[in-house]
Amino acid sequence: MKKKNFIALILGTLGGLLFALGLCMCLLPAWNAFTPGVVVAVIGAVILIIMLVLLRKASGKPAIKINARSVGILIFGILSALILGVGMCMAMVWSMMLPGIVVGVIGILLLLCLIPMCKGLK
């Protein structure tokens, strides 16, 4: 395993765990830890951004250029993930199993559309 991949593995795991834990702290009322949850989630997101910058630098790639295409892909990805999340909520929280599954599958299909949007078709 290359050094850059190992560092990305460690930072990605740590950042993902902190981000997920922070979101759980925010969204579970039984924990009563909204403010600390926001702090933990932000720390996790910062670690993930640092991992992205370090991995791109170690690979010799240029920094990510912000243009209309990358912003559009980002917005599409966020909306697709939200649709998947709504489908999960419908199925698990609101007791609407069949419509929740349908909305969740639509969200998954939209997320799969990100692959050709980012990489292109050849």
What pLDDT is stored for residue 113 in this prediction?
95
Which tokens belong to 15? 């950042």
Please classify residue 23 by burial: count the beta carbons closer than 10 Å to its beta carbon, then call 0-12 exposed, 13-18 middle and 19+ buried.
middle
Contacts 24+ apart (CB under 8 A), 47-52: 47/11, 47/14, 47/15, 47/18, 48/11, 48/12, 48/15, 48/16, 48/19, 50/11, 50/15, 51/7, 51/8, 51/11, 51/12, 51/15
Whether the CB-CB separation of 80 and 88 falls below 8 Å is answered with no
Rounded CA-CA distance 89/20 in Å is 17
Which tokens belong to 89? 């909520």
Whether the CB-CB separation of 84 and 107 falls below 8 Å is answered with yes
For residue 81, pLDDT over 90 is answered with yes
List the domain boundaries for the chain.
Answer: 1-64, 65-122
33: number of Cβ within 10 Å: 17
What pLDDT is stored for residue 3 in this prediction?
87
What pLDDT is stored for residue 49 in this prediction?
93
Rounded CA-CA distance 103/38 in Å is 28
Predicted confidence (pLDDT) per residue in 9-65, tens digit:
999 999 999 999 999 998 888 889 999 999 999 999 999 999 998 888 888 888 777
Predicted confidence (pLDDT) per residue in 83-122, tens digit:
999 999 999 888 899 999 999 999 999 999 999 998 888 7
